Amino acid sequence: MNPFVVWLESFSRFVSLPAAWGIFVAGAVIYVINAWRIRFLALVVQYLFIGVLFTRVFDTRPEMAIMKITVGWLICGALLVSARYRSQALPGSRQLVRWAANLPFRVLILAAGTVIAWLASQRFALPFVSADLGLACLLLTVLAILFFGTEEADPGVVGVGILNLLAALDIFYSAQDPGLLVTGLLVVVNLLVGLATSYLMVTEVAT
The residues that touch another protein, with contacts defined as CB under 8 A, are 128, 148, 155, 158-159, 161-162, 165-166, 168-169, 172-173, 176-177, 179-182, 185-186, 188-189, 192-193, 196, 199-201, 203-204, 206-207
Of 2 and 207, which has the nearer Cβ to another protein? Answer: 207
At residue 22's C-alpha, the angle toward residues 132 and 78, to 5°, is: 115
Of 18 and 149, which has the nearer Cβ to another protein? Answer: 149
Of 53 and 201, which has the nearer Cβ to another protein? Answer: 201
Q: Shortest distance, CB of residue 109 to another protein, whole angstroms?
A: 18
Of 115 and 185, which has the nearer Cβ to another protein? Answer: 185
Mark residue 66 as left, alpha or beta (left: phi above 0; alpha: psi -120 to 50; beta: remaining): alpha
Q: Shortest distance, CB of residue 200 to another protein, whole angstroms?
A: 4
Contact call for residues 159 and 79 (beta carbons, < 8 A)? yes
CB atoms within 10 A of CB 5: 14
CA distances from 93 to 36, 38, 78, 88, 186 (A): 9, 13, 19, 8, 33
